[in-house]
Amino acid sequence: MTNTLPPTRCRIRRIELISALILTLLFSLSWLPRAGSADQDSQSVMDLKQKAQQAYMAGRYAEAEAADLEIAEKHPESEARHYAVQLLGAIYEENLVDLRKAIKWDTEFLEKFADYRQGPVYKEKIAFLENLLPQEAAFRTYQAIRTGQDSAEVLVQKYEALLQECPGFLLRDKVKSELGYAYARLDKREKSYRAFQSITSEGGEKKLSSTDLATYKDARRYWQMSWTWTWIAWAVIVVLWAAVLLTRPWRRITWASSKKFLIWPLSWVLLTGACLPLYYNMEITGYPIVIPISTAIIAIGLNLIVLFWLLLLIKGNFWRSRPLGLRVFSPILTLVMTIAVFYLFVVYHPQGPYITDLFGVKYVYWKSEWKEHGLSWHIPGH
């Protein structure tokens, strides 16, 4: 048995359905003129938005501020207002420094536009800007220094003056970080190390970013290289030269033996001169460190000094009755002298830490190559 509706009730249902469709169509048509005006408004807003972005990228912050303010105040329903409000907060914080206006627009962005990821960030930013209000003048100075185009020497002077004028500045860690970078560019590694160390002494290395930490470690390593180990190297060189001169080697130098003082250095100069094309080859093949010819000539000269020292060592009176001791200790002492001399050469090179890093990387590479070479002998077919 089927359950059917009466004919009168079916007609009523059809009439209601048709009436609903007609009302929906009329309601939609009533919005057509409104949508057309919205499209026209959005075009003008998009022009303002583009103008603000171009002005901001070009550094014309007052012009960008005016365009964003027009969007925010005269077009409250536009979609571009989201970006205008956000950019106004950034402009008043970083460029046209006005912390109260920055807090105002950041608060509006937080309340109306921020998503779940931006919310905590903006809450923290607003709280920090509120704490920074009493130091607005120092913050304005900091932003002017940071966004300027001054040389590293001028930056050091300005950052040092800022820290002296406002020792309790809330952004003093960032100022010290910028100071460390400026000192590193001036090749004042100890001062760069001290600047970063003053940050870590309060909160540890976790207060440094990854880039700060890398620069801090480079400065620390270079300072240790150029201070502690440099003095040790100089001490070794002075002691070895003094020990050789105390043996009075000139008493055993004859005309026949003095020829070696000419033949050996000349042979060394000819050998290293034949190797000079390797330096040009390294530059052509894109080697990480391009060694200028002047640097190569200095290295050759240092080798000549070591060679001259070795010739004097051999002629020392101390070794006249100790030929076996001379054969045993002369290579060891020569190696120590060579290491000390070339350590100083690396330390006083502008890229000293980078060169030592490459030495470590190259050693690991050679070690892996040697292991692969050794394994190939145990694999059938190699």
Q: In the chain, pLDDT over 90 holds for what percent of residues?
A: 34
Instruction: Indicate whether 258 and 340 sit together in one domain.
Output: yes
Least confident of 15-29, 65-79, 283-297, 358-372: 15-29
Instruction: Indicate whether 220 and 258 sit together in one domain.
Output: no
Which of 225, 241, 257 is where one domain is finished? 225
Q: Provide the residue count of the chain.
A: 382
- The domain in which residue 181 lies consists of 149-225
Q: How many beta carbons lie within 10 A of that of residue 237, not counting itself? A: 19
Instruction: Indicate whether 219 and 131 sit together in one domain.
Output: no
What is the per-residue pLDDT across 23-80, written as a single tens digit (0 to 9) for each? 444 444 344 444 333 434 478 888 888 999 999 999 899 999 999 999 999 888 888 8
Give mean pLDDT, residues 114-122: 91
Instruction: Indicate whether 220 and 232 sit together in one domain.
Output: no
What is the per-residue pLDDT across 235-287, written as a single tens digit (0 to 9) for each? 999 999 999 989 888 877 776 667 766 777 777 777 777 766 665 555 555 55
**Which pLDDT score, from 0 to 100, does residue 190 have?**
84
Instruction: Indicate whether 245 and 331 sit together in one domain.
Output: yes
What is the per-residue pLDDT across 204-224, written as a single tens digit (0 to 9) for each? 778 888 888 888 888 888 787
In a domain, 280, yes or no: yes
Instruction: Indicate whether 160 and 86 sit together in one domain.
Output: no
What is the per-residue pLDDT across 318-332, written as a single tens digit (0 to 9) for each? 888 888 888 888 889
**Which pLDDT score, from 0 to 100, does residue 378 have?**
56
**Which pLDDT score, from 0 to 100, does residue 381 have?**
54
**Which pLDDT score, from 0 to 100, does residue 105 have?**
95
Report d(CA 65, CA 87) in Å as an integer. Answer: 8
Report d(CA 180, CA 218) in Å as an integer. Answer: 11
Task: Please give the model's pTM, rounded to 2 decimal places.
Answer: 0.62
What is the per-residue pLDDT across 71-117, written as a single tens digit (0 to 9) for each? 999 888 888 899 999 999 999 999 999 999 999 999 999 999 988 89
Which of 190, 225, 260 is where one domain is finished? 225
Instruction: Indicate whether 208 and 245 sit together in one domain.
Output: no
Instruction: Indicate whether 310 and 203 sit together in one domain.
Output: no
In a domain, 144, yes or no: no
Report d(CA 234, CA 246) in Å as an integer. Answer: 18
What is the per-residue pLDDT across 145-198, written as a single tens digit (0 to 9) for each? 998 889 999 999 999 999 999 999 999 999 999 999 999 888 888 889 889 988
Instruction: Indicate whether 220 and 234 sit together in one domain.
Output: no
Instruction: Indicate whether 332 and 236 sit together in one domain.
Output: yes
Which of 110, 137, 164 is where one domain is finished? 137
DSSP 9-25: HHHHHHHHHHHHHHHHH
How far is residue 32 CA from its own chain's centroid? 56
**Which pLDDT score, from 0 to 100, does residue 262 have?**
74
In a domain, 66, yes or no: yes
Percent of residues in the chain assigned helix, strand, coil, to nearest 5 = 80, 0, 20
Domain count, the chain: 4
In a domain, 91, yes or no: yes
Residue 84: which CATH number?
1.25.40
Higher pLDDT, 36 or 313: 313
**Which pLDDT score, from 0 to 100, does residue 77 have?**
86
